[in-house]
Structure 1
Amino acid sequence: MNTKAEPTKGANGADIAKLVLAVIVLAAGIFAYSWFGADGSVPQSIRLLGVLAALIISLAIGAFTAPGRRVRAFLGESQFEMRKVVWPTRDETLKTTGIIMVVVIVLSLLLGLIDLILKSVVLDWLLKLGT
């Protein structure tokens, strides 16, 4: 974990303009997808490629803003931390899964038994005593 405390700065005009441009590009891609699909003249695969291109372009534009640089730094640190994780082996995973399944079955049987006992107490004993 990063222990450096960095003050957050407000977005400057260029960053805001880049983010607005990224939103406009993405909105244009989505609009073009629906516009060219209305009459059926453009195949759906081509329209989908257009939306994906607009998404990639808008992400590229947003990556060069201050918030985009912070996201890239966060993803880099996350990837570094993921390398430190010790993943369980297949055998450990299967054993843990088996134990969890047994516990779930035992608890569901126990809760079902408690429900049955409470139902018989309420319906058979308490309601018959009132009559």
Structure 2
Amino acid sequence: MNTKAEQAKGMGPADIGKLALASIVLIAGIVGFYYFSDNPNVPSFARVVGVIVAVAAALAIGAFTVPGRKLRGFIAESQFELRKVVWPSRDETLKTTGIIIVVVIILSLLMGLIDWLLKTVVLDWLLKLGH
């Protein structure tokens, strides 16, 4: 667990401006993609590349804001924690999967048996007692 003390900072006007600019760039890329869809001189590949460039530019602009820095820190800490995970071996994974399949089959049969018993009791015995 990370015990760094962080100062709570709000977004300033510069951050709001950067996020607005990132939104404008992203919207411009999407609008450009659809605007040039009817133009036969612009290939589909160029339109897709334009959207990808717009998304990359918007992410780059947004990365230098307070929320962007927090997100980058979160991703870096997540990657650090992910390196600590001990992944199961192939043999352990196969054995665990086999056990789960067997348990699911057994529970399914058990639930089917309970359902059949309840159906038999209610429909065959209890409802026929009234006749």
Aligned to 1:17: 17
Letter in 2 for 1:77: E
**1:7 and 1:130 mapped to 2: Cα distance?**
75
Q: TM-score, normalised by structure 2?
A: 0.94
The code of the aligned residue for 1:64 comes to: F
State the percentage of identical aligned residues. 67
Read off the aligned partner of 1:101 and give its amino acid letter: I
Matched with 1:45 is 45
1:6-85 alignment to 2 at 5 Å? 6-37=6-37, 39-41=38-40, 42-85=42-85
The amino acid of 1:129's aligned partner reads L
Give, in angstroms, the shift of residue 130 of structure 1: 2.0
* Cα shift readout 1:30-82 (whole Å, capped 9, x = no counterpart): 11111111x25233222111111110000000001111111111111111111
Stretches of structure 1 lacking an aligned partner (at least 5 in a row): none
Give the structure 1 partner of residue 122 of structure 2: 122
One-letter identity of the residue aligned with 2:12: N
SS in 1 for 2:16: helix
Counterpart of 2:30 in 1: which secondary structure? helix
- Runs of 4+, deviation exceeding 6 Å: none
Deviation readout 1:98-127 (Å, 9 max, x if unpaired)? 000000010001001111111111111111
TM-score norm. by structure 1 comes to 0.94
Q: Structure 2: how far apart are the matches of 1:126 and 1:7? A: 69
SS at match of 2:36: helix
In the TM superposition, what is the alpha-carbon distance from 1:9 to its structure 2 partner?
1.3
Aligned partner letter, 1:126:
L
Correspondences of 1:93-108 after superposition (within 5 Å): 93-108=93-108
Report the Cα distance in structure 2 between the residues aligned to 1:91 and 1:33, rounded to whole angstroms. Answer: 48
Q: Which amino acid aligns with 1:114?
A: I
Q: Work out the CA distance in 2 between the residues paired with 1:33 and 1:112.
A: 54
